[in-house]
Amino acid sequence: MDQKQDLKTGTTTVGIITENAVVLAADMRASMGHLAYDEEAQKIYEITERIAVTNAGSVGDSLTVIRFLKSHANLYEVERETMITPKALAAYLSNVLNANRYYPFIAQFILGGVNNEPELFEITPFGGILERKSYAVSGSGTELALSVLDQQYKTGLTENEGIALCVKAVSAAKKRDIYSGGVSISVMVIDQNGVRQIDDAKVKKFIENKAN
C-alpha cells in the first residue's frame, strides 16, 4: 500500500476550559485512506479519575500510547499515594513521544484534566507541549473548528456553554472536512467530581441547539 495513503488519517477533536471544568469533544469517523471505515469510533479516553485525552492520527499508535498513559498513571499513584496531575502526565507523554521521534507514533493528543483548576495541553507527535489557557484543537478539521472557537470562545463559560461551543466547533468541521464525521459527537467533561461522558441524547440536543 502507498505509504502516504496508509498514513492518511483524519479527525477533529477540541478541548475547552470553562469556569470549573475541561470539556473535550471529538467526531466519530475513523478513516482509512479515502474510505470512511468506522462511523462510531472512540476518540476520547479516560486516563484517571480527573484526566482524559483525545487522539488524532493512527488508531494503533494512539491506543498504544494511551495504554502507556494508563499504566504510568496507575503506577505513579500506587508508588506515591497521590493522584498524578495533568501537567505531570503531559510531561510523561511528551517524553514518550520525543524518545520515539525517529520512528514516531503518528498521533497527536489533547490532554485535559483538573488539579486545583482546569488544565489543558496539546502534545505534538514529536513531544512538543503546548499549554492552552482557553481551547485546543487537533486533526484534519483544525482550521474549521478554530474559526468557530476564535469567534465565540470567552472566559468564564459555564459547563453547558462549553459543551455547546465544543459541539458547534466539531459540527463545523464535520460539515466540510471529508475526514471528520460519524453518527454523532463524543463529549466528556472533567471537573472536581471526575470524568463524565455526556450521553448521546443530551449531545443530540446540543447539536439541535435545544439544550437548556
* pLDDT tens figures, 43-54: 999 999 999 999
Location of C-alpha cell 480527573: 50
Q: Is residue 127 part of a domain?
A: yes
Residues assigned a catalytic role = 11
- Give the total number of structural domains in the chain: 1
CATH number at residue 43: 3.60.20.10
Q: Is residue 212 part of a domain?
A: no
pLDDT of residue 189: 98
Q: Is residue 9 part of a domain?
A: yes
Q: Is residue 176 part of a domain?
A: yes
Q: Is residue 92 part of a domain?
A: yes
Q: Could you tell me if 111 and 90 are in contact, meaning their C-beta atoms sit under 8 angstroms apart?
A: yes
Sign, Cα dihedral of 96, 50, 137, 43: positive
Per the structure, the complete domain to which residue 150 belongs is given by 3-207
Terminal CA-CA length for the chain: 49
- pTM, two decimals, is 0.92
Location of C-alpha cell 517524553: 95
Question: What is the per-residue pLDDT across 5-47, written as a single tens digit (0 to 9) for each?
Answer: 343 457 999 999 999 999 999 999 988 777 888 888 999 999 9
Question: What is the per-residue pLDDT across 137-180, written as a single tens digit (0 to 9) for each?
Answer: 999 999 999 999 999 999 999 999 999 999 999 999 999 998 89
Paired residues of 107 in beta bridges: 57
